[in-house]
Amino acid sequence: MKKEEYIKAVLEQVRCSNVHEPLKKELEAHIDDQAEAFIAVGLPEENAEEEAVKTMGDPIEAGMGLDAAHRPSFPIAVFLPAVILLFTGVLARYFFEDYFPVFDIMKNDEIINMIACIAAAIIFYFADYTIFVRKPKTAYVVFTLLLAITVIWNVSKVKGENVSGAEWVTIVFRNTLSGYFAFYGSALLVPLMCGFVFSMRGKKFKWFVLSCFILVVPPAIISLYAPCLSSAILVGIAALAIMTTAVKDGYFNINKTVAYLFMYIPASLAAVGLTLIKLLRNIRYNGSTADWEQNMIRKLITEAVLFGKDNGISTALTDPYNSHILTAIIARFGLIAGLAVAVILVILPLVMIIMSSRIQNRFGRLIAISIGVVFMFMSFAFIAANFGFTTAMESHVTAPFMSDGIFNAVTSGILMGIFASVYRRKDLMPERKIDTDRPAQVS
């Protein structure tokens, strides 16, 4: 059998077309090496290739083995908790009807949001995640500018209005909307941040410093202008995770210890500074609406029963369908139900980060880890707010998949779809250099 015939027969057994080209090159190289070995021991050149092909074994069996090894992987361990959270949110809001009657006007949106979340996840699952390295610098700059324009426009609409009557509702909505744009826009910016860093691989220290600055400063300024402090914190944590992974995987031609110190010393100082600001704010504005809400949530948690309804204090929650849905679940169904949901919220990002270590491609691993960090921040910040440690009303933090709203649904679906797209190719082309010039493909 000729080399070309053998390779064609092998590849016919491999169902994943994405790996055909690299497998073809690998098989050709192996056969050529074996043929050269036969020639070196005296076998005529015209017979060497045929004998080399014979040593490869049966092409059908070889192809079936390669098909099993390169079969796309589905991250069921991540999708399962995500689906549980999605339906938990829907069912919880349905049973909140007797506690929060306003839910009647939201039922139609509930179905739309669920469909949007699932559709976004499916679309990005089948998309080629390497699209994020097609013109990564341009994509990052354009998306950041669009985010800035959107936030600035929403904030500007608030200024100069007469704060009275129905107009106050409009102002609050627009201010909240700018915060949501900042928060979810920053979350969706993370894969583009990964593409930007990937484009900087091989650069020296000054480019490493520039990358840190570009990843953190512009989106953080946008977030603080919104204002949305949680979005700025999310950007900082995501950038830290991305740059740490990039340094660890050797993206930059720099001393790793110096790079870690450059990142983590300012990050630690920023964390201390934010803590002090929070403490000073609590002292200065003790008794404000936010503090009243935190105290009410703490009272509800401490007085919650293991199963069943509370004494009615939950009816005063400002956002039981979105930012305070976990607190509302504890009030409506008991402490055990709330703790079970909190555990699932923690498990989801932890499993994502653990599964990211199995991804062979460096860029894929970078994206997967960063998305896991985004979900981890959202989950932990949301749990903290719903147990009275922080203020959800001011931070715009929501639970991935579980909270209500089209922003949360689409963002959660997109990020989950991107993670799944990376993971389904976790064993494919592990050492292949991503060609940033070739067009993206959908498989």
pLDDT in the model for residue 434: 46
pLDDT digits (tens), the chain, 443 positions: 788 888 888 888 877 676 677 678 778 888 888 888 888 888 887 778 888 888 888 888 887 777 766 666 778 889 999 999 999 988 888 777 666 655 444 555 778 889 999 999 999 998 878 888 888 999 999 999 999 999 888 877 665 454 444 444 444 444 567 888 889 999 999 999 999 999 998 899 999 999 999 999 999 999 888 888 888 899 999 999 999 999 998 899 999 999 999 999 998 988 888 777 666 655 554 545 556 677 778 888 887 778 776 655 555 666 777 888 898 888 888 889 999 999 999 999 999 999 998 887 888 899 999 999 999 999 999 998 888 877 654 556 889 999 888 889 999 999 999 999 888 877 654 444 444 434 433 33
Closest CA to 291 of 303, 282, 304: 282
Task: Enumerate the domain spans of the chain.
Answer: 3-69, 76-423
**Could you give the 3-state DSSP secondary structure of residue 92?**
helix
The pair of three-digit structure tokens given for residue 426, joined into one six-digit string:
């976790």
Q: Is the separation of the CB atoms in 206 and 230 below 8 Å? A: no
pLDDT in the model for residue 172: 45
Sequence-distant (≥ 6) Cβ neighbours of residue 179 within 8 angstroms: 226, 227, 228, 231, 396
The pair of three-digit structure tokens given for residue 407, joined into one six-digit string:
């922003």
Cα–Cα distance for residue pair 133/191, rounded to 1 Å: 10
> 0.85 exceeded by the pTM?
no
The pair of three-digit structure tokens given for residue 370, joined into one six-digit string:
């960063």
How many residues are given for the chain? 443
pLDDT in the model for residue 171: 43
pLDDT in the model for residue 195: 93
Sequence-distant (≥ 6) Cβ neighbours of residue 388 within 8 angstroms: 294, 295, 297, 298, 301
The pair of three-digit structure tokens given for residue 353, joined into one six-digit string:
């980060």
Q: Is the separation of the CB atoms in 231 and 223 below 8 Å? A: yes
The Cα diameter of the chain in Å comes to: 96
Closest CA to 193 of 374, 386, 351: 374
Q: Hunting for tokens 């922003």 — which residue is that?
A: 407
Q: Hunting for tokens 């679940």 — which residue is that?
A: 329
With left for phi above 0 and alpha for psi between -120 and 50, is residue 65 left, alpha or beta? alpha
Cα–Cα distance for residue pair 376/77, rounded to 1 Å: 16
